[in-house]
């Protein structure tokens, strides 16, 4: 019994350490327009990143971008640049920055900021008084950002 309790305590402690490594959206450290450090401390999974880019319920990146490696997914957009060669055009730190808050890298971009939770204009409050609550989470998790970066780095 003692061994089981000890194992459970170690497992729970491990969960806390893993969670502690995740950088909160408001704590992201920018350096010269890039984010050099991983948001999770865990390497991204390119296969999961492909899901983030192609899934309409997650990142939905292909709604605006064409990605030849995801040719099996229908309805690629043409608003954003072709992402083929993204791993050659941008560094991992640059791609992470673009995904976290594209407006910091490209001020005139229409791309959403996937890991930002503040600084939004809420016109609904002034016009209807029925705007959503000001507190909401990012569009993607820190790990989904890292997975998307890992996938984009494979596109050379």
Q: How far apart are CA 97 and CA 139, in angstroms?
A: 14
User: For residue 44, what are the domain limits?
Assistant: 2-153
Judge contact between 58 and 140, C-beta under 8 A.
yes
pLDDT band per the 50, 70, 90 thresholds, residue 137: confident
Would you state the pLDDT for residue 17?
41
Tens of pLDDT along 55-70?
999 999 999 999 999 9
Lowest mean pLDDT among 21-30, 67-76, 125-134, 135-144: 125-134
Mean of the per-residue pLDDT values for the chain? 87
Q: How far apart are CA 154 and CA 147, in angstroms?
A: 11
Tens of pLDDT along 115-125?
999 877 666 66
Would you state the pLDDT for residue 9?
40
CATH code of the domain covering residue 15: 1.10.760.10
Please give the backbone phi and psi of residue 82, each rounded to the nearest 5 degrees, phi first. -60, 135
The structural domain count of the chain equals 1
């Amino acid at each position: 019994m003692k061994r089981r309790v000890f194992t459970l305590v170690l497992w729970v402690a491990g969960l806390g350490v893993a969670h502690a490594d995740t950088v909160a959206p408001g704590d992201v450290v920018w350096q010269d327009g890039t984010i050099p450090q991983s948001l999770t401390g865990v390497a991204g999974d390119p296969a999961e990143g492909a899901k983030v880019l192609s899934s309409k319920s997650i990142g939905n990146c292909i709604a605006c971008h064409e990605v030849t490696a995801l040719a099996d997914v229908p309805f690629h957009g043409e608003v954003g640049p072709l992402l083929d060669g993204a791993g050659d055009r941008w560094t991992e730190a640059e791609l992470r920055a673009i995904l976290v808050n594209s407006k910091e890298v490209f001020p005139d971009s229409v791309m959403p900021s996937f890991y930002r939770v503040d600084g939004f204009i809420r016109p609904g409050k002034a016009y209807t008084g029925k705007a959503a609550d000001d507190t909401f989470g990012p569009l993607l998790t820190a790990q989904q950002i890292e997975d998307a970066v890992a996938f984009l780095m494979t596109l050379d």
